[in-house]
Amino acid sequence: MYIDTHAHLYLSQFDEDRDEVIQRAIDQGIEKILMPNVDLDTVDGMHQLAQRYPNVCFPMMGLHPCSVDNNYEKVLAQIESYFHQQNYIAVGEIGLDLYWDKTFYHQQIEAFRIQASWAHNLDLPIVIHSRESIDEIISLLEKMAIPNLRGVFHCFTGSVEQASRIKDLGFLVGIGGVVTFKNGGLDKVIPYIDPQYIILETDAPYLAPHPNRGKRNESAYIRVIAQKLCEILSLDHHQLEELTTANARKLFALADQPKP
């Protein structure tokens, strides 16, 4: 059984066949699908999906850096209120994005600091978006030095040195479809990462692995990502399954539940 630790199955790309997508994942041995929030517009859809599949789909709560603007403090106040209404497995998706737009860079930093403090107070992990900003976030975490803060660098595409610094912080790396890309470069980095620090993810509907690159991603494709990782790490599926599933269960405090 595998765990997809990062998928946005509540988004509109799945409106026509969401139940079928989830069933395909279950049929492929994906026992749990963890769902990071994006912003206030995605909360209801995420909650509805978690309620429909309570033993499969698990919600997180947070504000994505690409949704941060000058109004971020008011939005964060609303986001934070949800933690008083129900339980979440993590604070996420949070972080910095220096790829799309740097206009609100300082606001992104402050939003990240605030949400990381929530995670500390709630004893929850954080799920970090770090597009073009891995070094900046590592430095932020080192300077913040929040005791027992833990989490994952989602969609890790960094260097061996960055992976080492992430490990030193006690954080994990999320490996997804990029590992299958011909020029993705992760095949040169992953051999230097201790598998105890790796979890699997799809980021569905984004970043579908080869040979489906450019098409809609879905949680069933964890098997494709796992196959490539097995080749790189010289592990069999059973070994990789045990390692990555145990890592995910530990980080997100997930119970071992039978296949639905």
Residue 92 resides in a domain: yes
Q: For residues 58 and 50, is the Cβ–Cβ distance under 8 A?
A: yes
Residue 122 resides in a domain: yes
Pairing relationship of beta strands 57-59 and 91-97 according to DSSP bridges:
unpaired
Q: For residues 235 and 196, is the Cβ–Cβ distance under 8 A?
A: no
Residue 189 amino acid letter: V
Partner residues linked to 198 by β-bridges: 173
Residue 10 resides in a domain: yes
Biggest CA-to-CA distance, the chain: 49
Global pTM value: 0.96
- Where in the sequence is the domain holding 219, given as residue range(s)? 2-252
Residue 260 resides in a domain: no
pLDDT one-digit tens code per residue, 175-188: 999 999 999 999 99
- Listed residue (186, 181, 217, 184) closest to 201, CA to CA: 217
Calpha distance 6→35 (Å, rounded)? 6
- The per-residue b/e assignment along 192-224, b for 16 or more CB within 10 angstroms, e otherwise, is ebebebbbbbbbbbbbbbeeeeeeebbbbbbbb
Burial class, 108, CB count within 10 angstroms (exposed 0-12 / middle 13-18 / buried 19+)? buried
Residue 241 resides in a domain: yes
pLDDT one-digit tens code per residue, 16-42: 999 999 999 999 999 999 999 999 999
Residue 26 phi/psi, 5° resolution?
Answer: -60, -40
Rounded mean pLDDT, 146-159: 97
Q: How many residues does the chain have?
A: 260
- What is the CATH number for 31? 3.20.20.140
Give yes or no for residue 84 having a pLDDT over 50.
yes
Total domain count, the chain: 1
Q: How confident is the model at residue 100 (pLDDT cuts 50, 70, 90)?
A: confident
Burial class, 100, CB count within 10 angstroms (exposed 0-12 / middle 13-18 / buried 19+)? exposed
pLDDT one-digit tens code per residue, 102-127: 999 999 999 999 999 999 999 999 99
Higher-confidence residue: 15 or 260?
15
Calpha distance 142→168 (Å, rounded)? 10
Residue 258 resides in a domain: no
pLDDT one-digit tens code per residue, 205-258: 999 999 999 999 999 999 999 999 999 999 999 999 999 999 999 999 998 654
The sign of the torsion formed by the CA atoms of 190, 192, 195, 199 equals negative
Rounded mean pLDDT, 146-154: 96
Residue 45 resides in a domain: yes
Whole-number Cα distances in Å, 179 to 64, 159, 208: 23, 13, 10
Residue 209 resides in a domain: yes
Calpha distance 228→195 (Å, rounded)? 14
Please give the pLDDT value at position 256.
66
Residue 209 phi/psi, 5° resolution?
Answer: -70, 155
